[in-house]
Structure 1
Amino acid sequence: MKPKNVIYSDSLVEIKHGSILFRRYSFFERDRLVLLSDIEKIVVKKSTIWNGKFRFHGTGDFKTWFPKDFQRYKRDKIFITHIRYKWWNIGFTVEDPDTVIRILREKGVIMENL
């Protein structure tokens, strides 16, 4: 049973009314919490080799960091989070992308670029 303030939760992310928790963000398996108010936008892209489909963890371009997900290559959408006033982004995937797109659209942070 999930807490009342959790809107969406899977093994990769947890979305609450005011934040997103990225699970297994760092090399030491630590999670990272980002407030929705700190997010400029989230771009949804089709999962391809050029935007992180086979990036299990870390970065390939020193700009976008991907939390650990060994199943990323099976997922069809990649989310790129642009943080306000930061030069780096967070790339992530989820187990139910359609639900997450709907939730983030309601929050006003989603921008689809499929």
Structure 2
Amino acid sequence: MENNLIYSDKLVDVDDKGIRLKKYYFPLGQAKFVKFQDIFKMEKRQATLTTGKWRIWGSGNLMTWFPLDWLRPKRDIIFFIQMATQSTRIGFTVENTKAFIEAVESKDIRIENS
């Protein structure tokens, strides 16, 4: 049985169980699925040079991994997930920030402002 999508764009899917980050793994672009139950902390930040605005794919410091997004430099908000099961956090962008936030918060995940 397929999980119901509550948000979807070219970069991420959100369903009943978690968030699918498309084009996550380098170099082939396979997706990574993050279960809601594995999220320790989620936050959103203004996209700047220091938060990863120009990081198209990968990591510059081995602390944060960014899935592929060619348009990240044009986006205003970057989301970060710290998982309970791994030390590297995930930084990612979405096409519709407001709809993504509504979808995630509907699953009782709090997104902190930084």
TM-score (norm 2): 0.91
1:112 is matched with 112
1:58 is matched with 58
- One-letter amino acid of the structure 1 residue matched with residue 9 of structure 2: D
1:30 is matched with 30
1:102 is matched with 102
- One-letter amino acid of the structure 2 residue matched with residue 6 of structure 1: L
Q: How many residues align?
A: 112
1:18 is matched with 17
Deviations 1:52-85 (A, max 9, x none): 0000000111011000001001111000001013
TM-score (norm 1): 0.91
State the superposition RMSD in angstroms.
1.4
User: Which consecutive unaligned segments of at least 5 residues does structure 1 have?
Assistant: none
- One-letter amino acid of the structure 1 residue matched with residue 10 of structure 2: S
CA distance in 2 between counterparts of 1:108 and 1:88 reads: 23
User: Which consecutive unaligned segments of at least 5 residues does structure 2 have?
Assistant: none
Runs of 4 or more above 6 Å deviation:
none
